[in-house]
C-alpha cells in the first residue's frame, strides 16, 4: 500500500515539475517562441541563483534584483545570489515560509515547487491574499462559465477534456460549439483539441501535456496554473457585460468600483427588480451597504458570500474573488424565470361552482418578491378570475379558482407574463344536467383557424342515443350546424364532431342532449387567420447586444385569447423575446439580444406563423470589434496617400456572413466607401482611395449597421515634393507573379510619351527583372504596374528627367504568395443540384496544385452550430474536405487559400431535413373508410415538415375501374393533391410512402359503394381478387408481393378523416392507432346482386388489380 501511494506521489510531483518548468520558460521567453536559454531542470538551473534572478527581473519589471554575483564560481557566491533573490521576493510583499538559500542550493524539489507556486499566485493570479481562497474563487468563476459540467475540483473533472473545450468556447464563442458531444472516452484527443484552440484564439501556452491533463493523478496546482491564463479573458468578457447592463454606472474595474455596494444594488435591481432604492444609498456608508446587498443576494439568489461584508469592502480585495462573486450573480439571473415552475390541475372536467385545484411545483424556493411576479388565473368567455393561494410551501403552491359559467375555461400560470410549463390548461365546466356527458380533445389553447376544420370528442359514461345529440355553432350571426350523423368511435360511447368556421372572431359551440346542454357546453373558441397578420416594420437581420428593439405586430383582427399570439426565440440564451398586448388587435414584441450568435425568431397566431416569419437574426457585440489603432492619423497624412488599417470581427458575431463598412467623408459632407477585403476568417483590411485634396476628412466604421468608430484627420498637401512624389502600396511590398501598383505624381504632362519618366524594377541579387507598365492618368499623375517573376528583394528606380525622384531607389521585399484565384473547389457537396441531407457525411475537394504555397482554411457557417471540418491532404496540392451538418437550412462553405477566399467562396449549401415519413400528413375523402362511387376521391398530402424525400402514391383496386391524376397545391409546392375516380364498387387500397416508407395510417382501405345499387350488394362482393400479385417500386427495384388486404382488428380504433356537408375542406381526425393484420378475401357473389353488375363482375374475376403511382422528388 505504501509503495502504491509513493508511486502516485511521484507521478503528481513529476507532472507539477513539468508544468511549473513550462510556466517559468513561458515567462522567460518574452516575445520569442522559446527563451534563448530554456530551463531544463529547475533543481540544477536554479542552483547558482542566476536563472532565478532572471525570472524575478521579468516578473517584477521594471524592478530588479541588485547586488549579486553575475559569474558565481563557488558555493558561497551561489548562496549569496540565492539569498539576494529571496530577499527581493520578500521586498515584493510576498510571504515565504520555511525556505532558505541552502534549500534551493541543495535542490529540494518540493520547496522549489512551493516557491514557484508562490510566484504564480502573486504575479500570474495576482492574488493580494484578501478575498476568497484562490481555489474557491477559481471554482466559482469556472462553474459560472460551465454550469453544465458541475466542476467541483481541478483534477478529475478535467480529465476527459470536454470541460476545457467548453471553457474555450464560453470565452471565445463558436470556437468549439460541439464540446458537449465530444467522446469522453477520447480524453487525450479532447485535451489536445482544447489546448490547440486556446493557443490559436488566445495565445495561451500549452503548459500541460494532454496526456498529463488526462491523468487522474494530476495535481490541482498544475491545472490551476494553466487555467489562470484564461481568467483575464474571462474577466474582460464579464466586465464588458457589466458595462452593457449598467451603462449609466461607468464601470471601470472588478474591484474598487464594487466595494461601496452601490453598484451591487444597481445590478440586483436591473436583473431581478429587488433593490429599487439602490440610488439612495450613500457610497460612504459602504459597510452597511454591503451587508444589505449580501443579505439580498443570499435571500433571493441563495448565494452566500464566502467572506464577510467588511472584507468585500477592502480596496485590496482580489480581482479574482470579486469577479467570481459577480459571475455567480450573473448566472443567478437564469434561475428565476418561468422555467422554475410547473403547473398542473387535479381535474379537467368539473361541475359549475366546483373549485378548480391548481398545483404549482417549483424547482427551487423563491422569495416573496419573486413570487409576486407569478400569477394564476382562470380565463373563461374573455374574462379573468384570479386564483387564491391555499397552500404555500417552499416548493409547492396550491391555488383554487371557481368558475361561474358553464363551458370550457382555461387556467393560466404566468411568471412575468410568460406561460409556465403546463399553461394554459383546459377545463370543461358542466351544468347540473347531463353530467354524465362531457367534451374532450378541444383545440389547444382554445384557438382554431379560419376555413380549417377542427374536431372534438363527445364522451358519455352511459349508453346514449346519438340522434338526441345536437351541435350548433354561432359567430357574428352565422350559425354552423352539424349536419352529419354522429357515429360512435369503435362502437363506444364516444362521438367525433367536426366543424369548419368561415368567419374569424369568437365562435360559441352549443352541444345539447335532448335539448339540454351537456358538460362543457357551451364552449368558446377563437377563430383566427394568421395570413392577415403582419409585422408593421422591417424585419431585422441583425441585433446588437445592449440595444433591444421593438416590433409592432398587427393581428388583423381583435383577439381576446391571451394564448393566441406567441413570440419566442429558438435560443433564448441568445435572444429573449417578450410580447405585450397594446390593443385588441396588436402586440409589441421586444427582442433583447444577450449573447453573440445566430438564432431564429418565431411569431405565431393560433399556432401558425404569421407572414414573413420565422426569420433568422445575427446577434452582434460591437464592443468586441477590434480596430487597429488609428492614432497615426492624429498628425494627418500626406496628399496622395491612402488610409489603410485592419479590423478583427471574430468575437463580434456574424462570422462568415457579415463584413464591416468603412466610409470616408470630406469636409463638404461627400461620402465615399473604402475598399474592405477579408484576408482571414473575419479579419478585414480597409483601404481608402488615395487622397490628393487638402482638407479635413472623417473615417466612419460600421458593423451590422451600427457605428463602432469615428476618426477625423487632415490631408496635408504642403508635405508633397513640388517636383515629384511617389506613393502607393507597390513601393512597400509585393507578391511574386502578382501585379503591384504605385503612383507617381509630377508637375509634367505627357512625361511617359516624352520619355521624361522612366521606371525599372530589378532584383538585388539574382538579377531578375520585373515587367513594368506606366499609365498616363491625364492629370500629371501616372500609375505604375509591375510584376516580379520571383521572390526576393527588388529595387524600384524612378527617374524623372534622368534624375532619381525623392526616395528612389525604393527597396521592396517580394514574397511568394498563395494565389487563391488559381484554387478550384469541386465535388458532390458543391454540385448546384446536389441533395444535401442533414446528418449525412458530405465531401468536396480543393485543387491548389497551381496556386503556390499557402494554408488551406475551411469553415462551414450557417443558422446552427458550425460543423467540424476534416481536411485531408491527398498530395500534389489536392485536399479532401469532409463535414457533417446536423442542422438544416442555408449554410456557406468558406474556403481560404493563403488568407484569401478562393474563386466562388463562400459556396452556398442548401441542407435539407432528413426524410421523416411520420411527419407527412394525408387527409381527404379519398382515404375515408367509405366513399360514394359518384364522388371523385381527393387526397391531400402535406410534406412540408417531412424533410427531403420521394413521395409515392399507389392505388390498388378493380382493374380498369378508375383513373388517377394529381396536381400541385397553389398554397405550397410541398402540398400535393391526388384524385382518383372509382367507376366500380369494391375495396380499394391506397398506399402513400415517403422515401419508400409508409406514412402514418398507410395503407388505407376504402370501401366504394353505389347508393343506386341494391342494398344487399355487400362490400365484400367485388372487393378484391384472391391470390392476385401486385408490383411495387422501391428505390428503383421492382418487387413482387402477394395480394393482401388490410383490415381492422376488433376492438381497436382507426384514424378517420371527415368532410361535413357544408364544406369541401377535409381534416384528419386523430383517434387511437390502427392495429392491422393481413388476410386474403375470396370473391363471393351476393345473392341479391343487381343484374347490371353480373356481367361486369365475371370480367373482374379474370383481371388483376391495376396499380397507378406517381413519384416526385423534393
The pLDDT assigned to 85 comes to 92
542-596: pLDDT as tens digits: 999 888 999 999 988 888 777 788 898 888 888 989 888 888 888 999 999 988 8
pLDDT at 1068 over 60: no
Q: What mean pLDDT value characterizes the chain?
A: 79
- Please name the residue that has the C-alpha cell 409585422: 535
Strand partners, 895: 858
Per-residue pLDDT band for 739 (boundaries 50, 70, 90) equals confident
Closest CA to 609 of 537, 536, 531, 549: 531
Region of poorest pLDDT, from 572-586, 909-923, 1014-1028: 1014-1028
Q: Measure the CA–CA gap between 651 and 237, rounded to whole angstroms.
A: 11
Residues 979 and 937 sit within 8 Å (Cβ to Cβ): yes
Q: Is the pLDDT of residue 1094 over 80?
A: no
Distances (CA, A) of 562 to 339, 340, 423, 591: 19, 21, 11, 19
Output DSSP code: residue 143: H
Q: How many whole angstroms separate alpha carbon 210 and alpha carbon 192?
A: 5
**Does residue 1027 surpass a pLDDT of 80?**
no
The answer to whether the beta carbons of residues 264 and 293 sit under 8 Å apart is yes
Least confident window among 804-808, 851-855, 1000-1004: 851-855
Task: Check pLDDT > 60 for residue 772.
Answer: yes
Please state, for a pLDDT cut of 90, what percent of the chain lies above it: 14
| Mean pLDDT value across residues 968-984 | 79
- For residues 112 and 54, is the Cβ–Cβ distance under 8 A? no
Reply yes or no on whether the pLDDT at 248 is more than 60. Answer: yes
Split at pLDDT 50, 70, 90, the class of 1071 is very low
Predicted structure pTM score: 0.39
| pLDDT (0 to 100) of residue 121 | 86
Residue 203: HSE in the Cβ half-sphere, 13 Å Cα cutoff: 6
- With 0-12 / 13-18 / 19 or more C-beta atoms within 10 angstroms meaning exposed / middle / buried, residue 289 is buried
Q: Residue 1081 is placed in which grid cell? A: 378475401
Give the orientation angle of helix 75-91 with respect to helix 50-59, to 10 degrees.
20
pLDDT in tens, 692-733: 777 889 999 999 888 988 888 888 754 444 568 888 889 888
Mean pLDDT computed over 356-381: 79
Q: What is the pLDDT of residues 861-872, one digit of tens each?
A: 886 667 888 888
What pLDDT does residue 131 have?
A: 78
Output phi, psi for 105, to 5 deg: -65, -35
Residue range 431-450: mean pLDDT, rounded: 75
| pLDDT value for 1069 | 34
Q: DSSP secondary structure string, 880-907?
A: EEEE---S-EEEEEEEEETTEEPTTPSE
**Could you give the CA distance from residue 430 to residue 409 in angstroms, rounded to a whole number?**
11
Quote the CA–CA distance of 867 and 864 in Å, as a whole number: 9
- Please say if the pLDDT value at position 25 is more than 80: yes
Strand partners, 457: 440, 496
Confidence of residue 398 (pLDDT cuts 50, 70, 90): very high
Model pLDDT, residue 661 = 93
Residue 449, pLDDT score: 85
282, three cell numbers: 450613500
- Residue 1078 has phi, psi (to 5 degrees) of -100, 130
- Give the pLDDT band (50/70/90) at residue 1084: very low
CA distance 168 to 967: 53
Q: Could you report the per-residue pLDDT of 191-227, keeping only the tens digit for each?
A: 999 999 998 888 898 889 899 899 888 888 999 999 9
Radius of gyration for the alpha carbons in the chain, expressed in angstroms and rounded:
39
pLDDT exceeds cutoff 90 at 774: yes
Mean pLDDT for 799-812 is: 87
Q: Computed from CA positions of residues 346, 352, 355, 356, in that sequence, does the dihedral angle turn out positive or negative?
A: positive
CA distance 713 to 339: 53
Q: Is a pLDDT exceeding 80 seen at residue 943? A: yes
Residue 821 scores a pLDDT above 50? yes
pLDDT at 1018 over 50: no
Instruction: Give tens-digit pLDDT for 38-68.
Output: 888 888 889 999 999 999 998 888 888 888 8
Grid coordinates of 231 = 481568467
pLDDT at 584: 83
pLDDT value at 380 more than 60: yes
Percent of the chain with pLDDT over 70: 85
Using one digit for the tens of pLDDT, what is the confidence trace for 66-107?
Answer: 888 888 888 899 999 999 999 999 988 888 888 888 989 988
363-394 b/e (C-beta count within 10 Å ≥ 16 → b) = eeebeeebbebbbbbbbbbeeebebeeeeeee
Q: Residue 961 has what pLDDT?
A: 52
Stretch 1061-1084: mean pLDDT:
33
Whether residue 883 has pLDDT greater than 80: yes
Q: For residues 440-464, b (16+ Cβ closer than 10 Å) or e, as one string?
A: ebbbebbbbbbeebbbbbbbbeeeb
Over 90: is that where the pLDDT of 1081 sits? Answer: no
Instruction: Say which residue, 369 or 816, is predicted with more confidence.
Output: 816
pLDDT of the residue at 158:
92
Q: Report whether pLDDT(786) > 90.
A: yes
Residue 645 has pLDDT above 80, yes or no: yes
Tell whether the model's pLDDT for residue 1064 goes beyond 70: no
Residues 137-192 pLDDT 10s: 888 888 888 877 888 898 899 999 999 999 998 888 778 877 878 888 899 999 99
Find the mean pLDDT for residues 230-254: 87
Whether 1038 shows a pLDDT value over 50: the answer reads: no
pLDDT 10s digits, 263-297: 999 988 887 778 888 888 998 998 999 999 988 88
970 vs 1112, which has greater pLDDT? 970
pLDDT the model gives residue 491: 65
Amino acid at each position: 500500500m505504501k509503495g502504491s501511494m509513493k508511486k502516485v506521489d511521484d507521478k503528481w510531483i513529476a507532472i507539477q515539475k513539468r508544468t511549473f518548468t513550462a510556466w517559468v520558460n513561458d515567462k522567460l521567453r518574452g516575445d520569442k517562441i522559446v527563451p534563448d536559454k530554456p530551463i531544463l531542470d529547475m533543481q540544477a538551473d536554479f542552483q547558482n541563483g542566476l536563472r532565478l534572478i532572471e525570472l524575478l527581473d521579468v516578473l517584477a519589471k521594471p524592478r530588479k534584483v541588485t547586488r549579486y554575483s553575475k559569474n558565481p564560481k563557488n558555493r558561497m557566491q551561489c548562496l549569496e545570489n540565492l539569498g539576494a533573490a529571496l530577499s527581493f521576493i520578500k521586498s515584493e510583499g510576498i510571504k515565504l515560509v520555511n525556505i532558505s538559500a541552502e534549500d534551493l542550493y541543495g535542490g529540494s524539489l518540493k520547496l522549489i515547487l512551493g516557491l514557484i507556486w508562490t510566484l504564480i499566485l502573486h504575479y500570474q493570479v495576482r492574488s493580494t491574499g484578501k478575498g476568497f481562497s484562490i481555489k474557491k474563487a477559481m471554482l466559482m468563476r469556472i462553474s459560472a462559465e460551465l454550469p453544465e459540467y458541475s466542476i467541483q475540483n481541478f483534477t478529475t473533472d478535467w480529465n476527459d477534456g470536454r470541460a476545457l473545450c467548453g471553457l474555450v468556447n464560453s470565452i471565445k464563442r463558436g470556437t468549439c460549439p460541439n464540446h458537449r458531444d465530444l467522446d469522453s472516452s477520447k480524453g487525450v484527443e479532447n485535451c489536445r483539441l482544447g489546448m490547440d484552440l486556446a493557443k490559436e484564439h488566445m495565445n495561451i501556452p500549452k503548459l500541460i501535456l494532454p496526456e498529463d491533463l488526462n491523468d487522474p493523478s494530476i495535481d490541482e496546482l498544475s491545472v490551476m496554473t494553466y487555467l489562470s491564463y484564461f481568467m483575464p479573458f474571462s474577466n474582460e468578457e464579464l466586465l464588458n457585460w457589466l458595462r452593457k447592463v449598467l451603462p449609466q454606472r461607468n464601470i471601470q474595474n472588478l474591484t474598487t468600483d464594487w466595494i461601496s455596494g452601490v453598484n451591487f444594488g444597481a445590478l440586483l435591481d436591473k436583473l431581478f427588480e429587488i433593490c429599487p432604492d439602490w440610488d439612495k444609498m450613500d457610497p460612504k456608508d459602504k459597510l452597511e451597504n454591503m451587508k444589505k446587498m449580501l443579505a439580498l443576494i443570499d435571500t433571493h439568489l441563495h448565494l452566500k458570500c464566502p467572506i464577510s461584508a467588511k472584507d468585500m469592502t477592502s480596496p485590496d480585495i482580489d480581482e479574482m474573488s470579486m469577479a467570481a462573486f459577480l459571475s455567480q450573480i450573473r448566472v443567478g439571473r437564469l434561475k428565476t424565470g418561468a422555467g422554475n415552475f410547473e403547473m398542473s390541475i387535479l381535474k379537467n372536467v368539473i361541475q359549475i361552482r366546483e373549485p378548480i385545484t391548481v398545483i404549482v411545483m417549483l424547482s427551487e424556493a423563491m422569495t416573496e418578491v419573486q413570487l409576486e411576479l407569478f400569477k394564476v388565473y382562470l380565463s373563461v368567455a374573455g374574462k379573468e378570475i384570479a386564483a387564491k393561494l391555499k397552500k404555500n410551501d417552499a416548493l409547492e403552491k396550491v391555488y383554487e379558482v371557481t368558475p361561474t359559467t358553464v363551458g370550457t375555461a382555461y387556467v393560466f400560470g404566468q411568471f412575468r407574463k410568460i406561460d409556465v410549463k403546463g399553461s394554459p390548461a383546459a377545463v370543461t365546466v358542466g351544468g347540473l344536467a347531463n353530467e354524465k356527458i362531457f367534451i374532450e380533445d378541444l383545440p389547444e389553447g382554445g384557438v382554431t383557424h379560419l376555413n380549417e376544420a377542427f374536431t372534438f370528442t363527445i364522451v358519455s359514461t352511459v349508453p346514449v342515443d346519438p340522434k338526441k345529440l345536437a351541435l350548433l355553432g354561432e359567430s357574428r350571426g352565422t350559425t354552423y350546424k352539424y349536419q352529419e350523423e354522429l357515429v360512435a368511435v369503435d362502437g363506444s360511447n364516444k362521438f367525433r364532431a367536426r366543424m369548419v368556421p368561415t368567419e374569424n372572431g369568437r365562435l360559441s359551440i352549443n352541444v345539447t342532449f335532448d335539448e339540454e346542454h351537456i358538460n362543457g357546453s357551451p364552449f368558446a373558441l377563437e377563430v383566427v387567420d394568421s395570413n392577415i397578420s403582419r409585422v408593421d416594420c422591417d424585419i431585422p437581420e441583425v441585433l446588437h447586444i445592449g440595444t433591444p428593439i421593438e416590433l409592432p405586430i398587427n393581428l388583423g383582427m381583435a383577439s381576446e385569447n391571451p394564448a393566441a399570439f406567441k413570440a419566442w426565440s429558438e435560443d433564448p440564451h441568445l435572444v429573449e423575446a417578450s410580447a405585450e398586448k397594446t390593443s385588441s388587435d396588436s402586440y409589441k414584441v421586444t427582442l433583447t439580444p444577450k449573447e453573440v450568435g445566430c438564432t431564429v425568431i418565431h411569431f405565431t397566431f393560433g399556432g401558425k406563423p404569421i407572414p414573413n416569419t420565422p426569420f433568422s437574426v445575427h446577434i452582434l457585440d460591437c464592443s468586441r470589434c477590434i480596430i487597429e489603432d488609428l492614432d497615426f492619423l492624429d498628425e494627418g497624412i500626406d496628399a496622395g496617400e491612402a488610409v489603410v488599417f485592419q479590423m478583427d470581427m471574430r468575437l463580434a458575431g456574424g462570422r462568415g456572413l457579415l463584413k464591416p463598412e468603412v466610409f470616408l467623408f470630406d469636409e463638404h459632407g461627400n461620402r465615399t466607401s473604402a475598399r474592405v477585403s477579408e484576408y482571414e476568417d473575419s479579419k478585414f483590411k480597409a483601404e481608402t482611395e488615395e487622397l490628393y485634396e487638402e482638407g479635413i476628412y472623417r473615417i466612419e466604421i460600421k458593423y451590422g449597421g451600427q457605428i463602432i468608430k469615428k476618426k477625423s484627420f487632415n490631408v496635408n498637401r504642403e508635405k508633397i515634393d513640388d517636383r515629384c512624389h511617389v506613393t502607393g502600396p507597390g513601393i512597400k511590398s509585393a507578391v511574386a507573379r502578382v501585379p503591384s501598383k504605385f503612383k507617381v505624381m509630377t508637375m509634367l504632362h505627357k512625361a511617359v510619351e516624352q520619355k521624361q519618366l522612366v521606371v525599372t524594377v530589378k532584383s538585388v541579387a539574382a538579377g531578375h527583372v520585373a515587367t513594368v507598365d506606366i499609365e498616363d492618368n491625364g492629370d500629371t499623375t501616372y500609375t505604375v504596374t509591375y510584376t516580379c517573376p520571383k521572390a526576393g528583394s527588388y529595387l524600384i528606380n524612378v527617374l524623372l528627367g534622368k534624375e532619381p525622384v525623392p526616395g528612389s531607389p525604393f527597396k521592396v521585399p517580394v514574397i511568394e504568395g498563395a494565389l487563391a484565384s488559381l484554387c478550384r473547389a469541386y465535388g458532390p457537396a458543391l454540385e448546384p443540384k446536389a441533395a444535401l441531407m442533414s446528418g449525412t457525411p458530405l465531401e468536396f475537394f480543393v485543387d491548389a496544385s497551381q496556386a503556390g504555397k499557402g494554408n488551406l482554411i475551411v469553415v462551414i457557417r450557417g443558422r446552427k452550430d458550425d460543423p467540424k471540418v476534416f481536411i485531408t491532404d491527398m498530395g500534389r496540392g489536392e485536399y479532401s474536405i469532409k463535414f457533417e451538418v446536423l442542422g438544416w437550412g442555408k449554410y456557406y462553405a468558406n474556403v481560404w487559400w493563403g488568407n484569401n477566399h478562393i474563386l466562388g467562396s463562400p459556396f452556398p449549401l442548401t441542407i435539407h431535413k432528413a426524410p421523416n415519413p411520420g411527419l407527412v400528413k394525408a387527409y381527404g375523402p379519398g382515404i375515408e373508410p367509405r366513399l360514394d362511387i359518384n364522388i371523385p376521391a381527393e387526397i391531400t398530402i402535406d410534406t412540408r415538415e417531412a424533410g427531403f424525400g420521394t413521395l409515392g402514391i399507389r392505388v390498388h383496386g378493380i382493374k380498369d375501374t378508375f383513373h388517377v391524376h394529381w396536381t400541385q397545391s397553389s398554397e405550397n409546392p410541398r402540398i400535393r393533391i391526388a384524385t382518383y375516380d372509382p367507376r366500380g364498387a369494391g375495396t380499394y387500397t391506397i398506399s402513400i410512402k415517403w422515401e419508400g416508407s409508409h406514412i402514418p395510417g398507410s395503407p388505407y382501405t376504402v370501401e366504394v359503394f353505389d347508393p343506386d345499387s341494391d342494398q344487399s350488394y355487400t362490400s365484400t362482393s367485388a372487393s378484391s381478387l384472391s391470390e392476385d400479385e401486385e408490383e411495387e417500386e422501391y428505390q428503383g427495384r421492382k418487387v413482387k408481393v402477394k395480394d393482401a388486404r388490410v383490415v381492422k382488428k376488433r376492438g381497436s380504433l382507426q384514424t378517420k378523416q371527415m368532410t361535413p356537408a357544408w364544406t369541401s375542406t377535409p381534416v384528419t381526425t386523430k383517434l387511437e392507432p390502427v392495429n392491422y393484420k393481413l388476410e386474403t378475401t375470396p370473391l363471393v357473389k351476393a345473392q341479391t346482386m343487381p343484374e347490371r353488375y353480373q356481367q361486369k363482375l365475371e370480367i373482374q374475376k379474370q383481371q388483376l388489380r391495376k396499380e397507378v403511382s406517381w413519384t416526385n422528388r423534393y
